[in-house]
Amino acid sequence: MSINPRIHDLIGRYFDLDSDEIEPVLEAFRQETLTGGEWLFRQGDPGDSLYFLVRGRLQVWIDQESDDNVTNQTLVGEVMPDETVGEISLLTGQPRSAGIRAARDSQLLKIDRAEFDQLAERYPRMTMKLAGSIAARLQRRTSGNSASTRRLTNICLVPITSNSRIEAFVGELVNALGKFGAVLDLSPDKLGHAGAPVTALDTSSEIPPALPGWLDEQEDRHRFVVYRAHAATSPWSQLAVRQADMVLLLADTTAQPQPQAWETVFDSKDDAFRLAQHALVLVHPAEQGEIRGTRAWLEQRDVNFHLHAFSGHRPDVERVARVVAGRALGLVLGAGAARGFSHIGVYRALTEAGVEIDWIGGSSIGAILGAAMAKKHSPEAVYQAAYEGFVVGKPFSNYTLPLVSLLSGRRMMKATRKLLPGRIEDLPLPFFCLSSNLDSGSINIHTSGPIDRAVQATAAMPGALPPAVVNRHLAVDGAVLNGLPVDVMRRCPVGEVVAVDLSSRKTYEVDYEELPSAWTLLRSRWLPFGRRYRVPGLVTLLLKSTEIGSVIRVREQGKQADLLLNPDVRKFGMTQVAAFERIVEAGYREALEKLPDWLSQRKASPGATQPK
């Protein structure tokens, strides 16, 4: 069996073998190939073999039964080259705990239990190393700190519209990817220039038999292999999509948004074409003002996410490159009512440090301010808008007849409509926020629709503000179920996450044995020489009750962040908008203190994106 040196070294390291022991072990392995969409095995199948992924990408699926007894398949992870599949079942003999499916054409090495047992008798440490590998993998899973974006190698670029603007963007993107490693740029009309065993391919050319093998070899030699697909259904384009880890659909927004007839192959339900991530990149004219009309491009295409870029604007191209390279930065802003003004200070510090934010998400006040940041407003503009909306607008003192809530919510609605017009999908930076479904207890993840309605839902604090209507269901504050959605951000194509946690971490004792009566509290607040009692107001009590319901989950979420910031805002009341400037400053100081060490570690990380 012909094995390339990389796999030879991998087997040696994995099983801790001496150089003269590797070859006999390799002889027990067999080669297997899977086409995109093909199952290696399914959940519940007998566990009688171990696999090494040589090339390609696999997906891990588990069967979950819903409340109505319907079995649904859920994607829970991916397997990348040089990683293994099937260790636990090989050792225990138990059925497969999950199904494994090829996300693209893949090559594997397989060893059955019988062959492994024979080798283990000859090399006993193989079993110990296998057990150690399982333990390490379980530890990574339970730590919750693994990156969501795995190493993607094959990138397919599909021009929905073919013109000079898209051609220029493709060239800029290929150059930007070069910052993360060697890039092989494969254009079908210039394959010979790249050393391929064919000079060029037009839209009708069949794939030469020698080309797929040559393409496989390029994956070992380059960080990225970029396939430029035809703007047509062609054998080359179909091969490019089948080989892709990610497909970028590139569109000039001056064109009509209706799909082209040939796009059907890229939007096919065929597993071979749909298991790779599909993203829509909308390229806007440099002179365009605010982004509009994204909904028309999205509603007729099945994509995992979309990105915006302005023609000739280098930071936008670099952001797309970071997403593709798995180096994008996600910012998660937690709930905390008025204490959330500290997010503005964090944003200011990140901006001053030159840290590029690529994705933003949050709950409650974190979502409101995060949406303003996703509009790419400056820290000063976010500060001014928040001051006018919350300090001047006073949404926490807008009391009403308490049939549904203590506050009417009208001032909050007015503030969010003024601060955040437009739709989520039109935001320059990708954004999401959460709300909690009041009847089912499920989480709504808002990634489209009017911004103001989404943030009104995520900030609808139970009892304090009226519920919102989301898809004909009542919804309340996202913080009820998830006040710091780092887990949701980890499912986005980001490599690093910065999170801001505003939950309380200190306890305070009161100086009374039982709660004073309402009349006693009233006297203590109005009589100048009476005893003062430290008792939260009704709105604060409601807000605080929402916070403590998810505080444990918030702290667990924080552990998944690469950088966790905890501004010192405990001394400020949940509705103390008068302390606006001091709360903002608390966030700024916390970020200034924590950023230098994190930036130093980031700089030392291979391939890390450096601040501007």
Here the tokens at position 311 are 């023609």
User: Of residues 141 and 558, which shows the higher confidence score?
Assistant: 558
User: How confident is residue 531, by pLDDT bands cut at 50, 70 and 90?
Assistant: confident
User: Is residue 199 scored above 80 in pLDDT?
Assistant: yes
> How far apart, in Å, do the first and last CA atoms of the chain sit?
49
CB 492, CB 430: distance < 8 Å: yes
pLDDT at residue 609, as a whole number: 56
Tell me: pLDDT of 329 over 70.
yes
Q: 85-129 pLDDT, tens per residue?
A: 988 888 888 899 899 999 888 889 999 989 998 988 888 888 888
At residue 144, the pLDDT reads: 47
Q: pLDDT by residue (tens digit) across 17-33?
A: 888 888 888 989 999 99
User: What is the per-residue pLDDT for 494?
Assistant: 95
The CATH number assigned to the domain with range 329-506+537-604 reads 3.40.1090.10
Candidates 3.60.10.10, 3.40.50.300, 3.90.850.10, 1.20.1630.10; correct CATH number of 155-325? 3.40.50.300
Residue 156 pLDDT exceeds 90: yes
Give how far Cα 395 sits from Cα of 54, 455, 465, 478, 494, Å: 58, 14, 10, 18, 34
**pLDDT by residue (tens digit) across 31-46?**
999 988 899 999 999 9
Per the prediction, the chain carries an average pLDDT of 86
Contact 436/443 with Cβ under 8 angstroms? Answer: yes
- Location of structure tokens 């092989």: 184
Q: Where are the domains of the chain?
A: 5-143, 155-325, 329-506+537-604
CATH code for the part of the protein at 5-143: 2.60.120.10
Looking at residue 145, its pLDDT comes to 44
Q: Strands 329-333 and 246-252: what pairing?
A: unpaired
Name the one residue in this structure whose structure tokens are 């519940």: 44
User: Which position has the token pair 């807000």?
Assistant: 543
Least-confidence region, from 62-71, 153-162, 242-251: 62-71
Report, as residue numbers or ranges, the catalytic residues. 364, 477
Give the separation between CA 365 and CA 442, rounded to whole angstroms: 20
Phi, psi of 473 (to 5 degrees): -125, 150
Same fold, 155-325 and 329-506+537-604: no
- Above 50 in pLDDT, residue 147? no
Q: Please check whether residue 322 is in contact with residue 496, taking contact to mean a CB–CB distance below 8 angstroms.
A: no
Range of weakest confidence among 218-227, 395-404, 472-481: 395-404
